Amino acid sequence: MNILRLINESEYIQINNHLIKPDLLFASEDFADDDDVAVEAEVNGMPFVLTVADLEEALPLADGGFWLETVGYVRFVSRASLH
């Protein structure tokens, strides 16, 4: 699945061991530029930002998550999958 589409279908993001509701979680599938912010959140009181370029480097994992060298484990989660 296209990672940008997955972002747009999600309400939460798991970053390593943290499940958070981001302030911004959106990316245009058709008109995304590398420097566009796709994810903006706060993790442990620190700002967390992923750009489209960051996501293009993501390595898909078998469990539906992604590995980003600069971040670690990232997974986009919908409310339905939490139940």
What pLDDT, on the 0 to 100 scale, is given for residue 82?
A: 64
pTM: 0.81
Domain 3-78 has CATH 2.30.29.190: yes
3-state class (DSSP) for residue 60: strand
Which of the four pLDDT bands, split at 50, 70 and 90, describes residue 79?
Answer: confident
3-state SS string over 13-53?
EEECCEEECCCEECCCCCCCCCCCEEEEEEECCEEEEEEHH
Mean of the per-residue pLDDT values of the chain: 86
pLDDT digits (tens, 9 = 90+) for 36-73: 888 899 888 899 999 988 988 899 999 989 999 989 99
pLDDT of 27 > 70? The answer is no
Give dist(CA 10, CA 19) in Å, integer.
12
Question: Once rounded to an integer, what is the mean pLDDT over residues 10-37?
Answer: 85
